[in-house]
Structure 1
Amino acid sequence: MFTGIVQGIAIIEDIAAKPGLSTFAVRFPADKVGGVAIGASVAINGTCLTVTCQEGSTLHFDAMQETLRLTTLGDLKAGDPVNFERAARIGDEIGGHLLSGHIHTTAKVVEILRPENNVTLWFEVPEEWARYIFPKGYIAINGASLTIGEVRGNRFNVHLIPETLRATTFGSAQEGQRVNIEIDSQTQTIVDTLARLGYDRPTPTL
């Protein structure tokens, strides 16, 4: 499990593509890999991956074809920055909300607004996932636990303070970029339960 509190930015050093599998070599800040063991779970842009090898502060991860298809990991190239979070341990503070590291879908950055001292990002998700997105609800974007601002149809926004921009890759976000989305599990359970009882929420309209 993860908390949605991004622990820093790592850099993709190399990607070795094989049939049905890609191996990512990811360089972490040196002070963030202490105690890492082979088999440990690390969220890379919100996607839970398993450490297969360690070379100093560089960790290696394998991603199957299905993972590459369902997430934005297949878009990455050497030199790209990524958000990371090591798996939570019993007793850790849950500063965001509990995440599984299993990506539900991807979204596209459709607009970036820069009012004074913060940034507002607008995202567009596939229509079928809009039913789980509510104003002031939780959502994980590239592994970061964020609060939803406005919702318009299958679009929603989040408001980011300077510290979030500094500590994550959102500071370099660009329009048209794809991001990984993990829907809040409690919200999904409630919406799906109500739908089974006949209280289905229609897809929001503009």
Structure 2
Amino acid sequence: MFTGIVQGIATVEAVTVRPGLNTLAIRLPEHQTRDVAIGASVAINGTCLTVTRQEGATLYFDAMQETLNRTILGQLAPGDRVNFERAARIGDEIGGHLLSGHIHTTATVVAIERPENNVTVWFELPEGWSRYLFPKGFVAVNGASLTIGEVRDNRFNVHLIPETLRATTFGEAQVGDRVNIEIDSQTQAIVDTLARLGYDRPASNTTNLGSASS
């Protein structure tokens, strides 16, 4: 499990492409790799991956075809920067919300607004996924637990404070970028249960209740 509190930014050093499998060599800050064990779980842009090898501060991960199909990991190239979080341990502070590291879908950055001292980023989801998004609810974007601001049809936004921009790759985001999305599991369970009982959520055109920063 993960907390959605990104621990830093790592750099892709190499990508080895084989049929149905990409091996990613990713360099983390050295102090974040001192006690890593082979088989440990690390979230890379929110995707739970298993450490298969370590060379100094560089960790190796295998991403199989299903992972490449469902996430943006198949787009990664040497030099790309990614968010990372090592798996949570019992006793760790849960500063965000619990994540599984299993990506549901991807979204596209469609607008970036830069009011004074913060940034608002708008994302567009594939049809059907916005039913799980609510203002003030949670969503994980590239592994970061964020509070949802507005939801408009299949688009939503988040408001990012300077610390979030510093500690994650969101400070480098550009319109057109694709990101990994993990829906809050409790929200998904409630929405799906109500739908089975005949209380499906109606389509929403515009909702604006503001947002807390993350």
Q: TM-score range by the shorter chain?
A: over 0.9
AA in 2 matched with 1:172: E
- Write out aligned runs for 1:64-143 (5 A): 64-143=64-143
SS at match of 1:48: strand
Given the alignment of the two structures, is residue 50 of structure 1 paired with residue 68 of structure 2, yes or no? no
AA in 2 matched with 1:164: T
SS at match of 1:85: strand
Provide the residue aligned with 1:185 in structure 2.
Answer: 185
Provide the residue aligned with 2:211 in structure 1.
Answer: none
Provide the residue aligned with 1:147 in structure 2.
Answer: 147
Q: Identity over aligned residues, as a percent?
A: 77
AA in 1 matched with 2:86: R
Deviations 1:83-128 (A, max 9, x none): 0000000000000000000000000000000000000000000111
Q: d(CA) in 2 for partners of 1:160 and 1:35? A: 31
SS at match of 1:195: helix
After the TM superposition, which of the residue ranges 18-27 and 194-203 deviates more from structure 2? 194-203
Provide the residue aligned with 2:5 in structure 1.
Answer: 5
Q: d(CA) in 2 for partners of 1:122 and 1:65? A: 28
Provide the residue aligned with 1:35 in structure 2.
Answer: 35
Unaligned stretches of 5+ in structure 1? none
Provide the residue aligned with 2:209 in structure 1.
Answer: none
SS at match of 1:128: coil
TM-score under structure 1 normalisation? 0.99
Task: For residue 184 of structure 1, report the CA deviation from its aligned partner.
Answer: 0.3
TM-score under structure 2 normalisation? 0.95
Task: For residue 205 of structure 1, report the CA deviation from its aligned partner.
Answer: 3.0
SS at match of 1:92: coil
Q: d(CA) in 2 for partners of 1:45 and 1:184? A: 16
Residues 128 and 203, structure 1, Cα contact 8 Å, conserved in 2: no
Task: For residue 72 of structure 1, report the CA deviation from its aligned partner.
Answer: 0.3
Task: For residue 204 of structure 1, report the CA deviation from its aligned partner.
Answer: 2.4
Deviations 1:32-81 (A, max 9, x none): 11210000000000000000000000000000011001000011110000
Residues 13 and 26, structure 1, Cα contact 8 Å, conserved in 2: yes
Q: d(CA) in 2 for partners of 1:159 and 1:87? A: 25
Provide the residue aligned with 2:22 in structure 1.
Answer: 22
Q: d(CA) in 2 for partners of 1:21 and 1:204? A: 39
Task: For residue 203 of structure 1, report the CA deviation from its aligned partner.
Answer: 3.1
- Write out aligned runs for 1:160-179 (5 A): 160-179=160-179
Aligned length: 206
Residues 138 and 147, structure 1, Cα contact 8 Å, conserved in 2: yes
Q: d(CA) in 1 for partners of 2:114 and 2:205? A: 26
Task: For residue 202 of structure 1, report the CA deviation from its aligned partner.
Answer: 2.5
Residues 24 and 62, structure 1, Cα contact 8 Å, conserved in 2: yes
Unaligned stretches of 5+ in structure 2? 207-214
AA in 2 matched with 1:13: E
